Structure 1
Amino acid sequence: MPDNRPTVLLTRPQAQAERFAQALGDIPVVISPLMRIEQQPLDVELTGYRGLVFTSENGVWACPQCALPAFCVGDRTAQAAKDAGMRAVSAKGSADDLVRIIADRAVEGPLLHIRGEHTRGDVAGKLRALGLRVDEVVGYRQVARPLSEQARKLLGGESIVILPLFSPRTARLFVADVGRIGARVRVVAISEAVKEALSGSVFDDITVSTTPDAKGMIAAIQGRIDA
């Protein structure tokens, strides 16, 4: 019998998309990354810093192995930091949650935020506004990629497509590149900021995850499949 279930279109970078697809189980998935991660050589000496700040595991992978404290936006990033020998703490949430745990713990700087070329949340800026010394360095680039022909065919059809979006930039890239749409697209946004990035587009069937993490996104996706 044909599989008439909705298909999930994953636009995350390849490694993260493959991992997320595994977590979804037997739900039909098409992977079409809208960004490619390119690690950048770090032109920085870690000596003198009292902690590192990470808003993505990509930042961890760009960092030399060390035993510094690492303040991480979520559990996945924290686990990557632990695997690299760091003493990691997870904010279990958003960029604002990360700023909050650093402030609540009265962390002393200087700190170093290893981030992507495109970033959101202005973590370093908000920490500096609280009086902390925080430097920033770009550890990776997020290079835009077009949708694959498989993704375009899926979106041009007449089936139901669940579209999880994990960042405002990905949402904007998708809107700019999508072209003709025949499918019924149900968007699952990881945050209100992602939903806002879709403002003015044709996409108005949007569910925002109750928590800004993989667990919340999977639950929201399942809810849209069962709707």
Structure 2
Amino acid sequence: MTDNTKRLQLNLLLTRPLAGSEAFWQALPGEVRSLVVPIFSPLIEIKPIKSTPNIEGCVIFSSVNGVENSPLGDGRIAYCVGEMTTNAAVSAGWNASQVGETATQLVAVLAALPEKTVFTHLSGTHARGNIAQLLSAAGHYTRRIAVYDQLQCKFTSEATEANASNFPLLVPLFSPRTALAFAEQDNGQAPRHLIALSEDVAAPVRKLNWSSHTVCAAPTRGTMIDAVQKVVTSMTLG
């Protein structure tokens, strides 16, 4: 018979859209999943925009959601931020290349292209990085077209209860918008441990009361998994 006593002492709040949260949970090592209780409470809901984008030139994808809510690639060229976005674009039929791990890195590479290029950035309604503006300023005509919206959601009752409990609560945050949604609803007393994908993600919640504060070494799912594992290990062994 499994002893769940220790597991109940450490909660893991998963705030990404449900599919992304479930995928992240499954990607965690089994030893980590055996030590924490997952609480699924998406703070952002992805809502497709039902229109066909008028794509000009090469496409830019800065998120998996952008890929999933866009037309199939049919072999067209796409420049992508991050490995997961690139893999999703390849699966959707795009001739996709990864250009950096962040929007800043992508802009730096594409802005330096010697030939003037036309780009279409397919993104969410709320997009960071000013990709279109910066590339246009560098001489590459770029339009941004929103193919999905990000609707803010409230905490589930389970998340509210966990946030108000005395049990430690791990909070991995993947985007500034999700972090802002968390900050706007925060009223908990649980000893909480922030694990932010980047400094930009940490910024909206930095002033909240945290028992510990971790920023990933690089903005990738792999480094987030490593960071969560390190925090869990330090808490269960410490």
Which residue matches 2:215? 208
Match of 2:64 among 48, 57, 60: 57
Give me the TM-score of the superposition, normalised by structure 1. 0.92
Which residue matches 1:87? 95
Match of 1:217 among 195, 201, 224: 224
Match of 1:165 among 163, 173, 177: 173
Which residue matches 2:146? 138
> Do the aligned partners of 1:33 and 1:147 also contact (CA within 8 Å) in 2?
yes
Tell me the alpha carbon deviations over residues 40-76 of structure 1, each in whole angstroms, 9 at most, x when there is no partner. 1234333xx2210011111112221122111111111
Which residue matches 1:39? 48
Alignment of 1:48-127 (within 5 A): 49-66=56-73, 67-106=75-114, 108-127=116-135
Matched residues in 2 for 1:171 and 1:126: separation? 25
Tell me the alpha carbon deviations over residues 158-183 of structure 1, each in whole angstroms, 9 at most, x when there is no partner. 1111100111111111011122x231
1:3 Cα deviation from its structure 2 partner: 2.6
Tell me the alpha carbon deviations over residues 141-165 of structure 1, each in whole angstroms, 9 at most, x when there is no partner. 0001100011111111111111001
> Do the aligned partners of 1:36 and 1:142 also contact (CA within 8 Å) in 2?
yes
Percent identity over paired residues: 30
Q: 1:201 to 1:173 in 2, by over 3 A?
A: same
Q: Structure 1 stretch 136-145 or stretch 83-92: which is displaced more?
A: 83-92
> Do the aligned partners of 2:191 and 2:210 also contact (CA within 8 Å) in 1?
no
Report the residue type matching 1:40 in the other structure: I
SS state at 1:163 partner: strand
Matched, 1:183 2:202: no
Match of 1:24 among 23, 28, 31: 28
**C-alpha RMSD of matched pairs (Å):** 1.7
Matched residues in 1 for 2:111 and 2:84: separation? 21
Matched residues in 2 for 1:70 and 1:107: separation? 17
Matched residues in 1 for 2:65 and 2:219: separation? 18
Q: Structure 1 stretch 106-115 or stretch 157-166: which is displaced more?
A: 106-115
Aligned residue pairs total: 224
Which residue matches 2:14? 10
> Do the aligned partners of 1:42 and 1:63 also contact (CA within 8 Å) in 2?
no
Q: Structure 1 stretch 153-162 or stretch 207-216: which is displaced more?
A: 153-162
Q: Which structure 2 segments of 5+ residues have no match? A: none
1:189 Cα deviation from its structure 2 partner: 0.5
Give me the TM-score of the superposition, normalised by structure 2. 0.88
Q: 1:22 to 1:188 in 2, by over 3 A?
A: same
